[in-house]
Structure 1
Amino acid sequence: MKEKLHPQVRQVVFKDISCDFAFLTTSTLSSAETIKWEDGKEYPLIKVEISSESHPFFTGKQRVLDTEGRIDRFKKKYGKK
């Protein structure tokens, strides 16, 4: 097997910045930022904007979107003339 072909897999912490939820998992991503986890060790920190803790599908809290307005704007821009 060729050496240095595969990315390094390491423990990282993903933190949902919208609801301050974090979880430890393995990933090939790296970051200059670190965070001290519950076990006392430091891990690279990857910030995400949405996770299962804040996504409407998993929380059951649906947001109301202006779908009619979006469709009308699309039809106006790309519709038949």
Structure 2
Amino acid sequence: METIGAYEAKTKLGQLLERVQAGEQITITKHGVPVAVLRAAPDHPGHAPAQAIAELKKFRRHHTLAGLSLKQMIEEGRD
């Protein structure tokens, strides 16, 4: 695992993120003392777009605007 100073990490963050994405872990130090480890985030399963759309449609069937227009709601929120 490579060690890099905080200032250099700040100036080269984009490059470090590419290296981490490729599988490396990098220790970030401040005045020679390790303070953080830069490593890849765990995989996040997320939701399939089709599933999200289906859930939004289901929500819309059970929730109405009760006669309000979107413009009226925006104006009401500005007060």
State the TM-score bracket (shorter-chain normalisation). under 0.3
Scaled by the length of structure 1, the TM-score of the pair is 0.26
Scaled by the length of structure 2, the TM-score of the pair is 0.27
Q: More helix per residue: 1 or 2?
A: 2
Larger relative CO (CA 8 A, sep 6+): 1 or 2?
Answer: 1
